[in-house]
Amino acid sequence: MELDIVFNIDYPSKLKVEPLYLNIPKYIEYIEVKNMDQFRRIVNCLNDEVVSYIWLHPSFSGDQVDAGFESRVTTEVLPELKELNIEVTQITRSTGKTSEKDFFDVGKMLDVKKTKKGYTTEELKEVLNSKPKTATLENKPRLRIEQSLKEEIKLINSRIRELRNFLHVSYSEDAGYWFQKIFKIEDIYTERCFNNSYWQFNIGNYKLYLNLNNLEECMIDPDHMNVAEIIKFDVDNRRWLIDMSFFDEVSKRFEQQDPDNSSEKLAVATTLYVIHEAIHKIHNLDCNTVAGIGNFPKIIEEADYQADSIAILTEFSFYIHQMGGIEKMSANQLIDKLCSTIEIAIQTTFSFNPIQDALKLIQVRRVNRYLIWFYHYFKIKNLKAENLDATSTIKEILTYFSHKPLIEVSGPAIKSNKDMDRTFYDLNRIKHQEEIAILKMNNEIIRMGKIQSVDFSQFYTGIKESNFEKMRDFLNVIFTNNRAALK
């Protein structure tokens, strides 16, 4: 989706940048931007998927545009835009007539093409007090209003408090790292899987960001739901501040797909999100340091895998605790629960995708993240055929998680965005032999799909639509056809 941000330029007296409105061309909707503070917040909200145009409108008839205008834009306006974190890479002159608004008259203008960040609808609503049209999964009625959602957040806090109490008790048994004592199996096995530098996140920092030393305090602040950074940790109060847009978008997805279980899924999704971000805090990756991190796709892929794994395994261990321990559970119960948790994690990441009819470009690292977790999903689901007991099943699962799968897809054209230093798949241009390759734990490379009659279009459609079932069903065929090689 394109997002235009329109500025007024008071020329020729002084080239002062004054924001006028946002324009979402897909819906031909104009939204007034009242002041520069609002614009700064918009810049902070924007994500990194959307191509934007910054339109610089002279506040006079186009006949008055002279050669000095473009020169003064370069010397006076661009430095001001740079202070707003807008890096202008291309300036072209274009002509146009704008009649929708009467507070300026445009004959000629400069348009500045720039890849800006994407955004969520709720963030723009909060910034602009407006309601731009969006393309959602379906236009079904919402099942709750904002106040009832806040009430549900209180219930989520209660659930997270129980999890924190479980961790507090587990970690009091001389645990030095997050993986110790939570599964109640032999220490030697968890040590074998996770006791290496890749997984050694200090328990002291982990306790800090989950506030395990003050269990009576709620983990999520229900009274501060307007968070420009979407999520941040309040160091003074040891609480997480999460923007309402997270709860709105995630709950909307679950309500549309599974209304009977949407509240429980939202609670699990929120738990995973908080633990994921707690691990990122230990990474020194938060709202203060995240700017530009997409320029390091290999690093962020590793950091996301660590954070995803720890969040999912922590939630999984809490479920086992709630059920009374491993000895009271069957292997199939464990497998079903873990696969359900992985599905919730993937669906939650879908909620952050740009809201539009279908994705056309998607970062390579994001597709890799999906592939990793669908591969784990497949491997874990197929443990049912092994007829293992519950403890042996847990051991197999921990072995899987301790090794990050290296898995990629070939087929879509690779598109490099030099402005953003990002690498994308162009889902509308299939240029290469369609395959999926994986490096197994024994360092064997397996290539899947090349000599088989497999239609990859279902996979691409699943990505475009953020559709879990389409992606899962396609990959299940691929992995099943290669089951023997993947063992």
Residue-by-residue DSSP string for 327-386: GGS-HHHHHHHHHHHHHHHHHHHHTTS--SSS-SEEEHHHHHHHHHHHHHHHHHHGGGGG
In a domain, 134, yes or no: no
Same domain flag for 82 and 208 = no
pLDDT at 96: 41
Residue predicted with more confidence, 81 or 56: 81
Examine the fold and report which residue of 79, 99, 128 is the final residue of a domain before the chain moves on. Answer: 128
Taking alpha carbons only, the member of 202, 333, 343 closest to residue 272 is 343
The pLDDT confidence band at residue 137, using thresholds 50, 70 and 90, is: very low
For residue 107, how far is the Cα from the chain centroid? Answer: 41
Same domain flag for 82 and 215 = no
Same domain flag for 375 and 464 = yes
Same domain flag for 480 and 375 = yes
Examine the fold and report which residue of 128, 159, 184 is the final residue of a domain before the chain moves on. Answer: 128
> If DSSP codes are grouped into helix, strand and coil, which group holds residue 300?
helix
Same domain flag for 331 and 448 = yes
User: With 90 as the cut, is the pLDDT of residue 299 above it?
Assistant: yes
User: With 80 as the cut, is the pLDDT of residue 353 above it?
Assistant: no
pLDDT per position as a tens digit, 442-472: 889 999 987 667 889 999 999 998 999 999 9
Cβ-count burial 226-262 (b if 16+ within 10 Å, e if not): ebbebbbbeeeebbbbbbbbbbbbbbbbbbbeeeeeb
Strand partners, 423: 416
Same domain flag for 100 and 202 = no
pLDDT at 21: 45
pLDDT at 196: 92
Highest mean pLDDT among 148-162, 180-194, 328-342: 328-342
- CA 476, 479, 482, 483 dihedral sign is negative
Q: How many percent of the chain have pLDDT more than 70?
A: 67
Same domain flag for 88 and 200 = no
In a domain, 133, yes or no: no
Same domain flag for 123 and 151 = no
pLDDT per position as a tens digit, 359-409: 788 888 899 999 999 999 999 999 999 999 999 999 999 999 999 999 999
pLDDT at 275: 98
Q: With contact defined as beta carbons under 8 Å apart, do 272 and 344 qualify?
A: yes
Number of domains in the chain: 2
pLDDT per position as a tens digit, 231-267: 999 999 999 999 888 998 898 889 888 888 999 999 9
| Class of residue 370 by CB neighbours under 10 A (exposed 0-12, middle 13-18, buried 19+) | buried
In a domain, 368, yes or no: yes
Residue predicted with more confidence, 132 or 234: 234
pLDDT at 249: 86
pLDDT per position as a tens digit, 27-60: 334 445 555 555 555 555 444 434 344 555 544 4
In a domain, 137, yes or no: no
Same domain flag for 261 and 324 = yes
Pull the structure tokens for residue 9: 């330029």
In a domain, 69, yes or no: yes
User: Torsion angle of alpha carbons 395, 398, 399, 400, nearest 10°?
Assistant: 130
For residue 358, how far is the Cα from the chain centroid? Answer: 17
Largest CA distance in the chain: 82
pLDDT at 459: 93
Same domain flag for 218 and 260 = yes
pLDDT at 421: 63
In a domain, 138, yes or no: no
Alpha-carbon span 413 to 423, nearest angstrom:
10
Same domain flag for 333 and 200 = yes
Pull the structure tokens for residue 448: 């899947």
Same domain flag for 52 and 181 = no
Examine the fold and report which residue of 128, 154, 175 is the final residue of a domain before the chain moves on. Answer: 128
- Domain interval for residue 220: 146-486
In a domain, 252, yes or no: yes
In a domain, 135, yes or no: no
